[in-house]
Amino acid sequence: MEILRAASRVFRRRGLGAAGMREIAEEADVSPGILYYYFSGKDEILLFCQERTLEHMLAAVEAARALPASSAERLRGVLQAHVHAMLDELEGATAHLEVEALPEELRAPVMEKRDRYERAVRALVAEGIKRGEFARADAALVTRAMLGAVNWSARWYRPDGPQTSAAIAQALSDYLVKGLLK
Amino acid sequence: MEILRAASRVFRRRGLGAAGMREIAEEADVSPGILYYYFSGKDEILLFCQERTLEHMLAAVEAARALPASSAERLRGVLQAHVHAMLDELEGATAHLEVEALPEELRAPVMEKRDRYERAVRALVAEGIKRGEFARADAALVTRAMLGAVNWSARWYRPDGPQTSAAIAQALSDYLVKGLLK
């Protein structure tokens, strides 16, 4: 949705605190009236951005599970989709996974999706261990390490930097899955 | 320094925004006058906390370099020290590596140390590749992945959780270095 992309660009450029509804409306090329018709304020826009990002990532896990593939291939696919969801889909706004940026009363649905996503990735890791494809490991801890590594990319990625997000997604997922293999 | 530890506990408990000098003074068991004698305000305390954490981590790299050890052992040692610096030394305040939490005019010394630390870790990765101990890899990207994974631990670690910080440090460093090996 174009309004969410525009809002992400403004959040990224100005920071969450300084971003305003007027500037988001301008960036999205809609009137402030239209923007307020859809969203009560910028917190609600951020909530939609975060939920959308997490829905992308949950869909990627579903898609990976449906593939007749090794656990390594599935996990690489999920991690690559995760990197893309953060760096491309919504203009790489670093705030998307930072639930603390939301007012407390809006956090519950994001935390629920985030926890569901983490459990789904952990299940892929556990599946690989059970199949004997991955070495024995603490699936919960390794999952958090992987998610930390990919989430952190939103902090250092620059759209005008030397590497494409696709190259970053591939290299990160290769490295992170390699540490699981026997 | 006890005041910095006390401040970290307050930052963690209350959040940066809500933490106040009076509460930090109480936690450190000193008078507000003493606290203001040493620090102009909570931003300056946060600056000292961040610098201290980074100095610990830089010292760990120096110590690792001085060891007659494999690149894998050196890197494991650095990553373990990094986890401890974040989770134990300063009570695991998540804000320590978030330079954005500082007012802009205080950021330069932290960013300089942070960049120096990242370069030093990257040099350890490059050394391992050059020695033929690690597989060929993009040392800059892999370094960022490793640092992201360990930095993220400050977000999910709970001092009263089931795992000690030592167990977490060991498991994380084992996993992250394994992905580099040939």
ipTM over 0.90: no
Domain boundaries, chain A: 48-178
Residues of A in contact with B153 (CB under 8 A): 144-145, 148
Indicate whether A9 pLDDT > 90.
no
Indicate whether A1 pLDDT > 80.
no
Cβ-nearest to A151 among B141, B152, B176: B152
pLDDT-derived band at B87 (thresholds 50, 70, 90) equals: confident
Cβ–Cβ gap B152/A155 under 8 Å:
no
Q: Counting one residue from A and one from B, how many pairs have CB atoms under 8 Å apart?
A: 77
Bridge partners (DSSP) of residue B134 are B181
- Strand, helix or coil for residue A181: strand
Cβ–Cβ gap A176/B172 under 8 Å:
no
Q: Copy the structure tokens of residue B15.
A: 């959040």
Kindly state the percentage of chain B with pLDDT values over 70: 95
Convert the pLDDT of each residue in B39-52 to its tens digit. Answer: 999 999 988 888 88
Cβ-nearest to A148 among B138, B151, B163: B151
B131 to chain A, closest Cα gap in Å: 19
pLDDT-derived band at B132 (thresholds 50, 70, 90) equals: very high
Residues of A in contact with B152 (CB under 8 A): 144-145, 147-149, 151-152
Would you identify the CATH topology of the domain B50-178?
Answer: Tetracycline Repressor; domain 2 (1.10.357)
The better pLDDT of the pair B120, A10 is held by: B120
Q: Does domain A48-178 have CATH number 1.10.357.10?
A: yes
Q: Is B115 exposed, middle or buried (0-12, 13-18, 19+ CB in 10 A)?
A: exposed
Convert the pLDDT of each residue in A77-103 to its tens digit. Answer: 999 999 998 888 655 555 556 777 788
Q: Copy the structure tokens of residue A42.
A: 């910028």
Alpha carbon of residue B29 to chain centroid: 26
| Terminal C-alpha separation, chain B | 42
Convert the pLDDT of each residue in A118-150 to its tens digit. Answer: 999 999 999 999 999 999 999 999 999 999 999
Residues of A in contact with B168 (CB under 8 A): 141
Main-chain dihedrals φ then ψ at residue B21, nearest 5 degrees: -60, -35
Convert the pLDDT of each residue in B6-33 to its tens digit. Answer: 888 888 788 777 889 999 999 999 999 9
pLDDT-derived band at B90 (thresholds 50, 70, 90) equals: low
pLDDT at A171: 97
